[in-house]
Structure 1
Amino acid sequence: MGWWIALAVIATLVVAWAYFTAQRLNRLHIRTDSALQNLQASLDRRASLAEALVPEAEAAARAILAMDYPVHALDHRARAEERLEGILAGMPVPRQVVDASARVELARRFYNDAVTDTRALRTRPAVRVLRLGGTAPLPVYFELPSAREGRESRANPEERPEGA
């Protein structure tokens, strides 16, 4: 009779672990989705500023803003952003665009951190066997070209704050 109780306790512990792990995974997916929305908003803001303030980047920025990027097509967005970054890399840019680029980098880091945490839990063998991730797609990383050196030094001197 004692082994039935032990089996019931073990089964209860496994079910409780699965329940709490599924909740944690759900919160991680929500965090990842929120970080992705913030990243897309930051990218859109930088493209809008580049379109308005940098005539040489107007066409590339307009192309980015005109396209509808579904969540699963982050690689297409990264390629479009790489083209814009290539245009901005060779010229002095207004301070607003530099600040927007810094916000993009922060948003990218937050998103990739959320993806790392979500993937770490989703790829555990027990989570995969029990299918605790449900039907949600495994999130993917968003990589932009590495930050260009001297971004701050390329800002227009008249746009720099005093003392910079």
Structure 2
Amino acid sequence: MSGVVEKTLRLTASPERVWNALTDPMELRQWFPEDAELDPRPGSAGWFEWTDHGRFSVRIEEMEPPVRLVWTWAREPGVALDEGHRTTVEWTLTRRDDGGTTLRVRESGFADRKHRDQNDAGWDEELDELVQHLEEDPVSRARPTEGRKAGSRPRPRR
């Protein structure tokens, strides 16, 4: 395996608010995939989809609301988790004294440095979108939309 991607953000939103943005499919569509099917409970399987990149299988491995979330996802679109290479994404949320959140994301299990570097750049884009989403929608769980318009923002390089 070839390294990990680790990112840390200081967010003004509470851990509960950030947790909703990470686990509610309606909210995920606002900043991460263009479409998602996900039942936020350990062992559940679903998918994330991007118009330009396809549909990626995902499985929730662990959840400790609103502190820790772990999922495994397929490296290639249209491939079942058990059939191909996959990586593991771990989210850790820590409440700060000011009520905000320190958010850490760690992705591991890369087969090669090329894919690790692609996802490193992809996470920079996606986390910028998360920050923007939380700033634009600081209280509500999700906006009543069908998700973002396809191609409206840069997509991760899976």
TM-score by length of structure 1 reads 0.28
Q: Which has the larger radius of gyration?
A: 1
Going by fraction, where is helix more abundant, 1 or 2?
1
TM-score by length of structure 2 reads 0.29
